[in-house]
Amino acid sequence: MVDGHDPVQARDDGTRDLYDVASWEVRSPLDGIAVTLYRVLRVTGKWLLVFASVGILLWLALSTDLSRVINPIVGGFTLLSILPALALVAFVWRSDVTSSEPLSLLAATFALGTLFAGFAALVNSALGGVFELVPVVGTIWFFYLVVGPVEETVKWLAVRIYAYRSSRFDAVIDGAVYGAVAGLGFATIENALYITDAVGTPVIGNVLGAGGGVTPLRAIAGPGHVIYSAFAGYYLGLAKFNRDLAGPIVIKGLLIATLIHATYNTLAFVPSIAAAVLGVPTFVTLLAFVVLYDGFFGYFLYRKLARYRATYRTLYADRDEPSPATERTEFED
Protein backbone atom coordinates (compact mmCIF):
# COMPACT_ATOMS: atom_id res chain seq x y z
CA MET A 1 0.00 0.00 0.00
CA VAL A 2 1.33 3.46 -0.95
CA ASP A 3 -0.29 6.42 0.82
CA GLY A 4 -3.57 4.56 1.15
CA HIS A 5 -3.57 3.39 -2.47
CA ASP A 6 -3.06 0.04 -4.12
CA PRO A 7 0.45 -0.19 -5.70
CA VAL A 8 -1.09 -0.18 -9.19
CA GLN A 9 -3.15 2.91 -8.37
CA ALA A 10 -0.10 4.64 -6.94
CA ARG A 11 1.92 4.25 -10.16
CA ASP A 12 -0.88 4.86 -12.64
CA ASP A 13 -0.86 8.19 -14.47
CA GLY A 14 -4.59 8.12 -15.13
CA THR A 15 -4.37 6.84 -18.70
CA ARG A 16 -5.19 3.20 -17.93
CA ASP A 17 -8.55 1.60 -17.32
CA LEU A 18 -8.21 0.05 -13.87
CA TYR A 19 -11.81 -1.10 -13.56
CA ASP A 20 -11.91 -4.43 -11.70
CA VAL A 21 -8.12 -4.30 -11.51
CA ALA A 22 -7.45 -1.78 -8.76
CA SER A 23 -10.58 0.40 -8.90
CA TRP A 24 -14.29 -0.10 -9.33
CA GLU A 25 -17.36 1.75 -10.56
CA VAL A 26 -20.84 0.84 -11.77
CA ARG A 27 -20.59 -0.28 -15.38
CA SER A 28 -22.32 -3.58 -15.98
CA PRO A 29 -25.89 -4.65 -15.16
CA LEU A 30 -24.43 -6.92 -12.47
CA ASP A 31 -22.71 -3.91 -10.93
CA GLY A 32 -26.04 -2.10 -10.83
CA ILE A 33 -27.74 -5.11 -9.25
CA ALA A 34 -25.01 -5.28 -6.60
CA VAL A 35 -25.45 -1.61 -5.72
CA THR A 36 -29.24 -1.89 -5.58
CA LEU A 37 -29.15 -5.07 -3.49
CA TYR A 38 -26.69 -3.46 -1.05
CA ARG A 39 -28.98 -0.46 -0.59
CA VAL A 40 -32.03 -2.67 -0.07
CA LEU A 41 -30.24 -4.85 2.47
CA ARG A 42 -28.89 -1.82 4.30
CA VAL A 43 -32.39 -0.41 4.76
CA THR A 44 -34.32 -3.63 5.33
CA GLY A 45 -31.67 -4.94 7.70
CA LYS A 46 -32.31 -2.09 10.08
CA TRP A 47 -36.06 -2.52 9.90
CA LEU A 48 -35.73 -6.26 10.45
CA LEU A 49 -33.69 -5.49 13.55
CA VAL A 50 -36.41 -3.17 14.81
CA PHE A 51 -39.22 -5.64 14.06
CA ALA A 52 -37.30 -8.46 15.71
CA SER A 53 -36.81 -6.27 18.77
CA VAL A 54 -40.53 -5.52 18.92
CA GLY A 55 -41.29 -9.24 18.67
CA ILE A 56 -38.88 -10.11 21.47
CA LEU A 57 -40.27 -7.37 23.68
CA LEU A 58 -43.83 -8.57 23.08
CA TRP A 59 -42.75 -12.11 23.85
CA LEU A 60 -41.22 -10.96 27.13
CA ALA A 61 -44.43 -9.13 28.01
CA LEU A 62 -46.66 -12.06 27.10
CA SER A 63 -44.46 -14.55 28.95
CA THR A 64 -45.33 -12.71 32.13
CA ASP A 65 -48.79 -11.96 33.45
CA LEU A 66 -50.04 -9.27 31.05
CA SER A 67 -52.38 -7.90 33.71
CA ARG A 68 -49.33 -6.99 35.78
CA VAL A 69 -47.51 -5.41 32.84
CA ILE A 70 -50.34 -3.00 32.04
CA ASN A 71 -51.26 -2.28 35.66
CA PRO A 72 -51.22 1.54 36.06
CA ILE A 73 -49.69 1.25 39.52
CA VAL A 74 -46.81 -0.78 38.08
CA GLY A 75 -46.45 1.90 35.42
CA GLY A 76 -46.36 4.55 38.12
CA PHE A 77 -43.65 2.70 40.02
CA THR A 78 -41.67 2.31 36.81
CA LEU A 79 -41.89 6.05 36.21
CA LEU A 80 -40.69 6.74 39.75
CA SER A 81 -37.83 4.27 39.31
CA ILE A 82 -36.37 6.14 36.33
CA LEU A 83 -36.47 9.64 37.82
CA PRO A 84 -32.81 9.61 38.99
CA ALA A 85 -31.69 8.35 35.57
CA LEU A 86 -33.86 10.96 33.87
CA ALA A 87 -32.23 13.68 35.97
CA LEU A 88 -28.81 12.47 34.89
CA VAL A 89 -29.89 12.50 31.23
CA ALA A 90 -31.09 16.08 31.69
CA PHE A 91 -27.66 17.02 33.05
CA VAL A 92 -25.88 15.47 30.06
CA TRP A 93 -28.33 17.19 27.70
CA ARG A 94 -27.66 20.54 29.38
CA SER A 95 -23.92 19.98 28.96
CA ASP A 96 -24.28 20.13 25.18
CA VAL A 97 -23.17 23.66 24.25
CA THR A 98 -23.75 23.12 20.54
CA SER A 99 -27.15 23.06 18.84
CA SER A 100 -30.06 21.52 20.75
CA GLU A 101 -30.99 18.00 19.77
CA PRO A 102 -34.43 17.58 18.17
CA LEU A 103 -37.10 15.89 20.26
CA SER A 104 -37.85 13.47 17.42
CA LEU A 105 -34.32 12.03 17.49
CA LEU A 106 -34.26 11.87 21.28
CA ALA A 107 -37.62 10.08 21.36
CA ALA A 108 -36.57 7.64 18.64
CA THR A 109 -33.34 6.84 20.48
CA PHE A 110 -35.24 6.27 23.72
CA ALA A 111 -37.70 3.96 21.93
CA LEU A 112 -34.88 1.98 20.30
CA GLY A 113 -33.17 1.69 23.68
CA THR A 114 -36.30 0.06 25.10
CA LEU A 115 -36.79 -2.19 22.08
CA PHE A 116 -33.22 -3.50 21.90
CA ALA A 117 -33.25 -4.35 25.59
CA GLY A 118 -35.14 -7.48 24.58
CA PHE A 119 -32.11 -8.77 22.66
CA ALA A 120 -29.95 -8.38 25.74
CA ALA A 121 -32.50 -10.18 27.92
CA LEU A 122 -32.71 -13.05 25.44
CA VAL A 123 -28.92 -13.49 25.17
CA ASN A 124 -28.39 -13.16 28.92
CA SER A 125 -31.04 -15.78 29.62
CA ALA A 126 -29.69 -18.16 26.98
CA LEU A 127 -26.05 -18.02 28.14
CA GLY A 128 -26.48 -17.48 31.88
CA GLY A 129 -26.89 -21.17 32.62
CA VAL A 130 -23.72 -22.06 30.72
CA PHE A 131 -21.52 -19.83 32.87
CA GLU A 132 -23.19 -21.05 36.05
CA LEU A 133 -21.56 -24.42 35.42
CA VAL A 134 -18.22 -22.87 36.35
CA PRO A 135 -18.13 -22.25 40.13
CA VAL A 136 -17.39 -18.72 41.40
CA VAL A 137 -15.50 -17.33 38.40
CA GLY A 138 -18.23 -18.38 35.97
CA THR A 139 -20.47 -15.57 37.17
CA ILE A 140 -17.66 -13.03 36.82
CA TRP A 141 -16.90 -14.24 33.31
CA PHE A 142 -20.60 -13.96 32.53
CA PHE A 143 -20.60 -10.29 33.55
CA TYR A 144 -17.49 -9.42 31.52
CA LEU A 145 -18.07 -11.61 28.47
CA VAL A 146 -21.85 -11.47 28.08
CA VAL A 147 -23.82 -9.01 30.20
CA GLY A 148 -21.53 -6.01 29.83
CA PRO A 149 -20.71 -6.38 26.11
CA VAL A 150 -24.23 -7.35 25.04
CA GLU A 151 -26.11 -4.68 26.98
CA GLU A 152 -23.69 -1.90 26.03
CA THR A 153 -23.74 -2.95 22.39
CA VAL A 154 -27.54 -2.90 22.11
CA LYS A 155 -27.62 0.56 23.70
CA TRP A 156 -24.91 1.67 21.26
CA LEU A 157 -26.99 0.30 18.38
CA ALA A 158 -29.95 2.38 19.57
CA VAL A 159 -27.87 5.45 18.72
CA ARG A 160 -25.95 4.11 15.74
CA ILE A 161 -28.77 2.99 13.47
CA TYR A 162 -30.80 6.20 13.53
CA ALA A 163 -29.69 9.36 15.37
CA TYR A 164 -26.06 8.91 14.32
CA ARG A 165 -27.02 9.12 10.66
CA SER A 166 -28.88 12.40 11.07
CA SER A 167 -27.32 15.71 10.05
CA ARG A 168 -28.44 16.99 13.47
CA PHE A 169 -25.85 14.71 15.04
CA ASP A 170 -23.29 17.39 14.29
CA ALA A 171 -20.88 17.37 17.24
CA VAL A 172 -18.89 14.86 19.26
CA ILE A 173 -20.77 15.71 22.44
CA ASP A 174 -24.07 14.81 20.75
CA GLY A 175 -22.99 11.19 21.05
CA ALA A 176 -22.98 11.45 24.84
CA VAL A 177 -26.48 12.95 24.79
CA TYR A 178 -27.96 10.22 22.60
CA GLY A 179 -26.02 7.54 24.45
CA ALA A 180 -27.48 8.74 27.74
CA VAL A 181 -30.99 8.70 26.26
CA ALA A 182 -30.47 5.15 24.97
CA GLY A 183 -29.36 4.16 28.48
CA LEU A 184 -32.53 5.71 29.89
CA GLY A 185 -34.65 3.69 27.47
CA PHE A 186 -32.86 0.49 28.42
CA ALA A 187 -33.19 1.23 32.15
CA THR A 188 -36.91 1.98 31.72
CA ILE A 189 -37.81 -1.38 30.24
CA GLU A 190 -35.44 -3.23 32.57
CA ASN A 191 -37.02 -1.55 35.62
CA ALA A 192 -40.51 -2.27 34.31
CA LEU A 193 -39.69 -5.98 33.95
CA TYR A 194 -38.13 -6.17 37.43
CA ILE A 195 -41.09 -4.42 39.02
CA THR A 196 -43.57 -6.54 37.08
CA ASP A 197 -41.74 -9.70 38.10
CA ALA A 198 -41.82 -8.64 41.76
CA VAL A 199 -45.61 -8.35 41.64
CA GLY A 200 -46.78 -11.95 42.02
CA THR A 201 -50.47 -11.22 41.46
CA PRO A 202 -52.34 -8.12 40.34
CA VAL A 203 -53.99 -7.76 43.77
CA ILE A 204 -53.82 -4.11 44.80
CA GLY A 205 -52.13 -4.79 48.13
CA ASN A 206 -49.47 -6.96 46.56
CA VAL A 207 -48.86 -4.48 43.77
CA LEU A 208 -48.32 -1.67 46.27
CA GLY A 209 -46.18 -3.81 48.59
CA ALA A 210 -43.96 -5.69 46.16
CA GLY A 211 -43.87 -2.96 43.54
CA GLY A 212 -43.13 -0.28 46.08
CA GLY A 213 -40.41 -2.42 47.64
CA VAL A 214 -38.40 -3.02 44.46
CA THR A 215 -38.83 0.50 43.04
CA PRO A 216 -36.14 2.17 45.21
CA LEU A 217 -33.68 -0.61 44.28
CA ARG A 218 -34.31 -0.06 40.58
CA ALA A 219 -34.16 3.71 41.01
CA ILE A 220 -30.56 3.59 42.20
CA ALA A 221 -29.58 1.10 39.45
CA GLY A 222 -30.87 3.21 36.56
CA PRO A 223 -28.25 6.02 36.52
CA GLY A 224 -25.52 3.48 35.90
CA HIS A 225 -26.99 2.58 32.51
CA VAL A 226 -27.01 6.25 31.56
CA ILE A 227 -23.37 6.74 32.55
CA TYR A 228 -22.13 3.60 30.76
CA SER A 229 -23.84 4.34 27.47
CA ALA A 230 -22.98 8.05 27.61
CA PHE A 231 -19.30 7.04 27.52
CA ALA A 232 -19.90 4.73 24.56
CA GLY A 233 -21.98 7.40 22.84
CA TYR A 234 -19.30 10.05 23.32
CA TYR A 235 -16.75 7.88 21.56
CA LEU A 236 -19.25 7.14 18.81
CA GLY A 237 -19.45 10.89 18.30
CA LEU A 238 -15.66 11.09 18.31
CA ALA A 239 -15.56 8.35 15.68
CA LYS A 240 -17.96 10.23 13.42
CA PHE A 241 -15.50 13.08 13.05
CA ASN A 242 -12.33 10.98 12.90
CA ARG A 243 -13.06 8.72 9.97
CA ASP A 244 -9.62 7.14 9.63
CA LEU A 245 -9.74 5.64 13.13
CA ALA A 246 -13.51 5.35 13.53
CA GLY A 247 -13.52 1.61 14.23
CA PRO A 248 -10.92 1.59 17.04
CA ILE A 249 -12.52 4.68 18.59
CA VAL A 250 -15.91 2.93 18.73
CA ILE A 251 -14.32 -0.17 20.25
CA LYS A 252 -12.62 1.97 22.90
CA GLY A 253 -15.94 3.50 23.90
CA LEU A 254 -17.64 0.12 24.11
CA LEU A 255 -14.74 -1.30 26.12
CA ILE A 256 -14.97 1.53 28.63
CA ALA A 257 -18.72 1.11 28.99
CA THR A 258 -18.44 -2.68 29.23
CA LEU A 259 -15.69 -2.66 31.86
CA ILE A 260 -17.50 -0.13 34.08
CA HIS A 261 -20.76 -2.06 33.73
CA ALA A 262 -19.29 -5.52 34.35
CA THR A 263 -17.24 -4.32 37.31
CA TYR A 264 -20.37 -2.85 38.89
CA ASN A 265 -22.14 -6.19 38.54
CA THR A 266 -19.13 -8.05 39.91
CA LEU A 267 -18.94 -5.84 43.01
CA ALA A 268 -22.68 -6.01 43.67
CA PHE A 269 -22.11 -8.48 46.53
CA VAL A 270 -20.11 -5.94 48.55
CA PRO A 271 -23.14 -4.03 49.95
CA SER A 272 -24.66 -7.25 51.34
CA ILE A 273 -21.46 -8.16 53.15
CA ALA A 274 -21.06 -4.62 54.45
CA ALA A 275 -24.65 -4.63 55.71
CA ALA A 276 -24.08 -7.88 57.62
CA VAL A 277 -20.86 -6.60 59.16
CA LEU A 278 -22.21 -3.18 60.08
CA GLY A 279 -25.64 -4.40 61.13
CA VAL A 280 -27.53 -1.96 58.92
CA PRO A 281 -30.18 -2.51 56.22
CA THR A 282 -28.77 -3.70 52.90
CA PHE A 283 -30.44 -0.83 51.08
CA VAL A 284 -28.32 1.65 53.05
CA THR A 285 -25.05 0.02 52.08
CA LEU A 286 -26.27 -0.51 48.51
CA LEU A 287 -27.16 3.15 48.19
CA ALA A 288 -23.76 4.15 49.55
CA PHE A 289 -22.03 1.79 47.11
CA VAL A 290 -23.98 3.09 44.09
CA VAL A 291 -23.38 6.73 45.04
CA LEU A 292 -19.63 6.10 45.36
CA TYR A 293 -19.32 3.93 42.26
CA ASP A 294 -21.55 5.93 39.93
CA GLY A 295 -20.21 9.16 41.41
CA PHE A 296 -16.63 8.13 40.63
CA PHE A 297 -17.27 7.34 36.97
CA GLY A 298 -19.89 10.06 36.66
CA TYR A 299 -17.18 12.52 37.64
CA PHE A 300 -14.97 11.29 34.79
CA LEU A 301 -17.90 11.68 32.40
CA TYR A 302 -18.45 15.19 33.76
CA ARG A 303 -14.78 16.05 33.21
CA LYS A 304 -14.95 14.79 29.62
CA LEU A 305 -18.06 16.83 28.85
CA ALA A 306 -16.65 19.87 30.65
CA ARG A 307 -13.45 19.71 28.64
CA TYR A 308 -15.39 19.63 25.38
CA ARG A 309 -17.61 22.46 26.56
CA ALA A 310 -14.66 24.63 27.62
CA THR A 311 -12.82 24.02 24.35
CA TYR A 312 -15.90 24.87 22.31
CA ARG A 313 -16.50 28.10 24.17
CA THR A 314 -12.86 29.10 23.84
CA LEU A 315 -12.85 28.55 20.08
CA TYR A 316 -16.15 30.32 19.46
CA ALA A 317 -15.96 33.03 22.11
CA ASP A 318 -15.09 35.79 19.65
CA ARG A 319 -17.02 34.55 16.64
CA ASP A 320 -20.55 35.17 15.53
CA GLU A 321 -20.82 32.30 13.07
CA PRO A 322 -22.09 28.89 14.16
CA SER A 323 -19.86 25.85 14.27
CA PRO A 324 -18.86 24.56 10.81
CA ALA A 325 -21.08 22.08 8.99
CA THR A 326 -20.05 18.49 9.42
CA GLU A 327 -19.09 16.05 6.71
CA ARG A 328 -20.40 12.53 6.39
CA THR A 329 -17.73 9.96 7.06
CA GLU A 330 -16.82 6.58 5.70
CA PHE A 331 -18.04 5.07 8.97
CA GLU A 332 -21.57 6.20 8.08
CA ASP A 333 -22.88 3.45 5.82
Per-residue confidence (pLDDT) for residue 135, from 0 to 100: 81
Residue 164 lies in a domain: yes
Residue 42 lies in a domain: yes
DSSP letters, 186-224, are HHHHHHHHHHHHH--S--HHHIIIIIHHHHHHHHHHHHH
Cα distance between residue 245 and residue 239, in whole Å = 7
Q: Is 239 left (phi over 0), alpha (psi -120 to 50) or beta?
A: alpha
Tell me the residue range of the domain where 154 lies.
27-316
Residue 20 lies in a domain: no
Cα distance between residue 266 and residue 285, in whole Å = 16
User: What is the mean pLDDT of the segment spanning 211-215?
Assistant: 68
Residue 69 lies in a domain: yes
Cα distance between residue 156 and residue 232, in whole Å = 7
- Tell me the pLDDT tens digit for each residue of 81-104: 899 999 999 999 999 988 889 999
Question: Which is higher by pLDDT, 328 or 20?
Answer: 20
Residue 12 lies in a domain: no
Residues found in the chain: 333
Residue 83 lies in a domain: yes
The number of distinct structural domains making up the chain is 1
Question: Which is higher by pLDDT, 37 or 318?
Answer: 37
Cα distance between residue 147 and residue 153, in whole Å = 10
- Tell me the pLDDT tens digit for each residue of 2-30: 555 565 666 677 787 766 555 677 888 88
In the Cβ-directed half-sphere of 174, how many Cα atoms lie within 13 Å? Answer: 25
Residue 332 pLDDT level (bands cut at 50, 70, 90):
very low
Residues 234/175, Cβ–Cβ less than 8 Å: yes
64: pLDDT strictly greater than 70: no
Query: Looking at this protein, which amino acid is placed at residue 285?
Result: T
Residue 326 lies in a domain: no
- Tell me the pLDDT tens digit for each residue of 119-152: 888 888 889 888 888 887 889 999 999 999 999 9
Residue 11 lies in a domain: no
Per-residue confidence (pLDDT) for residue 273, from 0 to 100: 93
